[in-house]
Structure 1
Amino acid sequence: MRTPVITRSLIAAACALACMASQAATIKITSRDKAGEGFNDPTPVTPVGGNPGTTLGAQRWNVYQYVASIWEKNIDSNVVINVSAGWEALTCTSTSATLGSAGALNIWHDFPNGKAGTWYPQALANKLAGVNLSDGQPDSTGYDNFDIKTQFNVNLGNTGCLDGSKFYLGLDGNAGTNVNFVETLLHELGHGLGFSVLTVSTSTGSRLNAAGTGYVATGGLPSIWEQYMYDNTAKKTWLNMTSAERKASAINPLQLAWIGPNVKAGAGFLKHIPIVKTVSPATSGNLSLDFSAASFGPAAPSSGTFGVLANVATQTNETGPGCDAFDTANTMAVKGKVAIISRGTCSFAIKVKNAQNAGAVGVILVNNTTGALIPGGTDTTITIPAVGVTQADGNALKAAVTAAIPYGTRSKAGTVTANLTTDPARIAGADTNGNPLLYTPATLAPGSSVSHWDVTATPNLLMEPNINSDLTTTLVPPVDLTVPLLKDLGW
């Protein structure tokens, strides 16, 4: 990342412009694609979901303009926000793919109207200074001093690149089994505008030095993010932590909260944490556990009986837990009941569909590592609800089913019934003070940890690490918290 030097003459000019009123922003998208590629792809397509383009390139361009217009209405700046956009061949396999990414191309510190000794992404720095700080500066990036650089996978959906799952280029949100490009681009431009810790290495906790040449354990400059990142275990913000403390905080699940005033004021729409309560003849089987609803299938009931629980046994030569059609024993075990299935090998939707085919009325999916489990995926043929629980809680549910068996009769084993409700004292995706949580899984996810909302938020938020099917294009409360966080930063 380039860190141009700010001159005295630039400061004087910026001060003169900084107080001008602004009601919106202007975002300029510039393509860097070659003829016949990306935005210039002439492949004929049929208009879809409100997108009138008749070539693949035109539809891609229309989505960019549509998303830019949404952001223009949600943020203020007197300085044009310049975005370099391109379609490129990114990492792929038949079952996975890098969708794309976006980020600030240039970063700044110690400019007019910014917080002294603090790193900012260029678009925000320009807004605060009132001028384009990179004007007249030498370009060492190769991208003409743009504020934000984006790149998306031109091969998505082709053979060998997440086969069959293309970017949906409609503007109506009806992506089905494809990847909603509107939501993906909204999310990535949010990162480019500043929704990212940016200049802190989450793997070491080190900050970028003032020259922008490397991360250092001590003496680096903080990111504008750090003042609002509060660790409930350490009882301090990242601004006041050592590198070692920031490293630990980045993998401290459900403990790192955002305490900015705009986010706190708008977070009241987050719902209370859903929980599953079990009723068992064995005292040890009466549990109260958190769960997260799956993104596919019908919604789990917010209250009432979920069903009698059933463990799914390991099958001979199985692909993975629940990944194959259920054998006779498992079919008899889960018919009319809620199947408990561990994560692993195949998709969540495949596991739930196999349980559904065997007669199950619901599924509890159990994580195979630490942390919350949000079962993602798509399958429009699934008609039973599914929820996810942690590894420890799932193991407790399995043990409860086993412990209840001796309490039955000779003809009918004892059973455990699961009921769904919410915890009136806790909010999903927030700490005990109502401050929304940042994503800090126990195993660091480079590029995702810390710079997203936690996956436990309900309803789902745009800036979670996953693009969920229930997202909208509204970026403010009572639907979303993206804009309030950016306003906390200075937008």
Structure 2
Amino acid sequence: MSMSFKKTVLRTAVLAALIGAGAAQAATIVIQSRDPAGVGFNDPTPVAPVGGNPGTTLGEQRMYVYRYVADVWEKALDSDVTITVNAGWQALTCTASSATLGSASAWNIWHDFPGGQPGTWYPQALANKLAGVNLSEGMPDDGTGYAGVDIKTQFNVNLGKSDCLAGSPFYLGLDGNFGTGVNFVETLLHELGHGLGFSVISVQTSTGYRINAAGTAYVASGGLPSIWERFMFDNTAGKTWLNMTSAERKASAVNPLGLAWIGSNVLAGADMLSATPVLKIATSAPGYTGLYPYGTASFGPAVSTGLAMGSLATVTPDAVNGQGCLPFSAADTTAVAGKVAVIDRGTCGFAVKAKNAQNAGAIGVIIANNAAGAAPGLGGTDPTITIPTISVSQADGAKLRAAITASIPYGMRGKVGYATGSLSTDPTRRAGADALGRPLLYTPNPLVSGSSVSHWDVSATPNLLMEPNITPDLGLILVAPKDLTKPLLKDLGW
């Protein structure tokens, strides 16, 4: 998520005279297109109406989704000040197997205005709501045409082409039947959430530095906090980001499963999080029997409590091609036939690894993360995958591989011993929350620039809109017991 450094600060006395009376009303969102003729919203390519979207050109369908999602947000928010979203379609980073889908962010941020916490940065849409006026009214344009907007968005105009996540374009229907495409409704709903304030916004997470009061640079000390920081509590440090040094914030941003949200509105809805789904390992080898939290995949059959996964097996490491990225060797085929293959994440897609394991005769797959943090959600599509696939954390992956080796001497009647897995839940802990039931923010190690801290952790169950990955089970409801997006925004002041 990019953000302009064109931050503007107005004196309190000037603003006070502009504030009008009256209660806030449902928000109004205006969408401004910056696309040139023939591009993006102006693309004249004929298309058939799809999934409730009546547009007959590609450009019309894109704008229809924007308006549809904007309407969802209008109903969810209260503000007397119009929210302006500047939108464009452009070429973003792509390869045949991966792509940047798009991004959105607050384009201007403000501090020290009536209605806000003193000495605190706010995204413009929220600052306008609290002040009761458009703080950027009359601000001269900087030549971009969108200097005074609240939110700037951009999405990948090439998505789905042969060199840009081939075969997976944005699905522009409203019914969720996106198949191998990318659900644009949910993607845009998520990104506008960032623009409205679901973001640490004024902190450089790689250094912990804050933006200075002039809005011109990140500084090691003396910068102003964002409103977001007062609700971020690090369980290791025992303090919020509001009271941390830059070095402490930097460390907290890569403290896996250690950073919780403590806002009262979120906590009131946190009971919606389910008991933690766990892989239950049984083995005669001491020290390995236990419960291992897992994540789920968007491909293959759905998994649930009570599923017996089977005996676990490992495959040969491959530092060059990535473990599981090529068809299995004869030795690996023998090892995983009739068993659950434990494979490290990395190099190729999750579905590729699962399909190669399936072709080798595996009856299930466990993908271990390659970085510290929770078990990741496994994106991807392949309708030919018929075996269950789950994920575990990097630390638990290492422990499972050790369990497989340690179990061998514990066989019976001349046979080797195995570690076996089944799926269950841990009722003592909510999925995606700390020990006190406070929802966790996404803090993997190493840092994921643009994603770390400004999302819910991927361990949350059910999946939440503002996790770093868009999943098929999301909807348009932004409050508990379905979601925690609006409660967090209310904590900020919406």
Q: TM-score range by the shorter chain?
A: over 0.9
What count of residue pairs does the alignment treat as equivalent?
488
Q: What letter is aligned with 2:369? A: N
SS at match of 2:204: coil
Deviation per CA, 1:386-422: give whole Å up to 9, x if none. Answer: 1111222222222222222233356532222212211
Return the alpha-carbon distance in structure 1 between the equivalents of residues 49 and 68 of structure 2: 15
Report the counterpart of residue 311 of structure 2 in structure 1.
Answer: 308
Q: Which moved more, 1:100-109 or 1:56-65?
A: 100-109
**Per-residue deviation at 1:187?**
0.8
Identity %: 66
For 1:249 and 1:9, how far apart are their aligned partners in 2?
37
Match of 1:12 among 5, 9, 16: 16
**Partner-residue secondary structure (3-state), 2:341:** strand
Is the CA contact 2:257–2:374 (under 8 Å) kept in the aligned structure 1? no
Is 2:342 the counterpart of 1:340? Answer: yes
- Aligned match of 1:242 in 233, 241, 245? 245
- 2:386 aligned with 1:363: no
* Cα distance in structure 1, aligned partners of 2:244 and 2:458: 25
> Of the candidates 477, 481, 485, which is equivalent to residue 484 of structure 2?
481
Q: Aligned equivalents of 1:456 and 1:170: distance in 2? A: 28
Q: Where does residue 254 of structure 2 map in the other structure?
A: 251
Partner of 1:424: helix, strand, or coil?
strand
Structure 1 residue 248 displacement after superposition? 1.0
Paired AA for residue 181 in structure 1: F
Secondary structure class of the residue paired with 2:68: helix
Post-superposition Cα deviations, 1:204-243, rounded to whole Å, max 9, x if no partner, equal 1111111111112221111011110111111111111111
Task: For 1:3, give the aligned amino acid.
Answer: K
Contact 2:9 2:214 in 1 (8 A): no
Contact 1:14 1:112 in 2 (8 A): no
Moved more, 392-401 or 42-51: 392-401
Contact map agreement 1:272 1:424 (CA 8 A) in 2: yes
Selected match of 1:159 from 155, 158, 162: 162
Match of 1:462 in 2: 465
2:138 corresponds to 1:136: yes
SS of corresponding position for 2:56? coil
Give the equivalent residue in structure 2 for 1:198. 201
Alignment of 1:13-412 (within 5 A): 13-17=17-21, 20-140=22-142, 142=144, 143-313=146-316, 319-374=321-376, 375-409=378-412, 412=415
Question: 1: CA distance between counterparts of 2:67 and 2:352?
Answer: 36
Cα distance, 1:452 vs. partner? 0.7
Q: Which residue identity is paired with 2:206? A: S
Partners of 1:281 and 1:11 lie apart in 2 by 70
Paired with 1:407 and 1:413, the residues of 2 have a C-alpha distance of 7
User: Could you tell me how far apart the structure 1 residues matched to 2:13 and 2:225 are?
Assistant: 26
- 1:144 deviates by 4.2
The 3-state SS of whatever aligns with 1:452 is coil
Cα distance in 2 for partners of 1:314, 1:307 equals: 22
Give the Å deviation of 1:442: 1.3
**Are the aligned partners of 2:209 and 2:220 in contact in 1 as well (CA < 8 Å)?**
yes
| TM-score, with structure 1 as normaliser | 0.95
Amino acid at match of 2:72: I
Q: Deviations over 1:72-107 (max 9, x none)?
A: 010110111011111111122222221111111111
8 Å contact from structure 2 (residues 208, 246) kept in 1:
yes
The answer on whether the counterparts of 2:8 and 2:215 sit within 8 Å (CA) in structure 1 is: no
| Aligned-CA RMSD value | 1.9
Unaligned stretches of 5+ in structure 1?
A: none
1:349 counterpart SS class: helix
Range 368-377 or range 450-459, more displaced = 368-377
Deviation of 1:428 after TM superposition, in Å, equals: 1.1
- The alignment partner of 1:15 has SS state of coil
Q: Do the aligned partners of 2:373 and 2:443 also contact (CA within 8 Å) in 1? A: no
Q: Distance in 1 between matches of 2:343 and 2:259?
A: 30
User: Residues 490, 318 of structure 1: CA spacing in aligned structure 2 closer, same or farther, 3 A cutoff?
Assistant: closer
Read off the aligned partner of 1:372 and give its amino acid letter: A
Is residue 303–residue 422 contact of structure 1 (8 Å, CA) maintained in 2? Answer: no
Residues 285, 117 of structure 1: alpha-carbon distance in 2 compared, 3 angstrom cutoff = closer
Aligned counterparts of 1:180 and 1:470: Cα–Cα separation in 2: 11
Output the CA distance in 1 between the equivalents of 2:183 and 2:140: 37
* Kept after mapping to 2: 8 A contact 1:2/1:140: no
Summarize the Cα distance change of 1:233–1:285 in structure 2 as closer, same or farther, 3 Å threshold: closer
Distance 1:144 1:223 in 2: 21
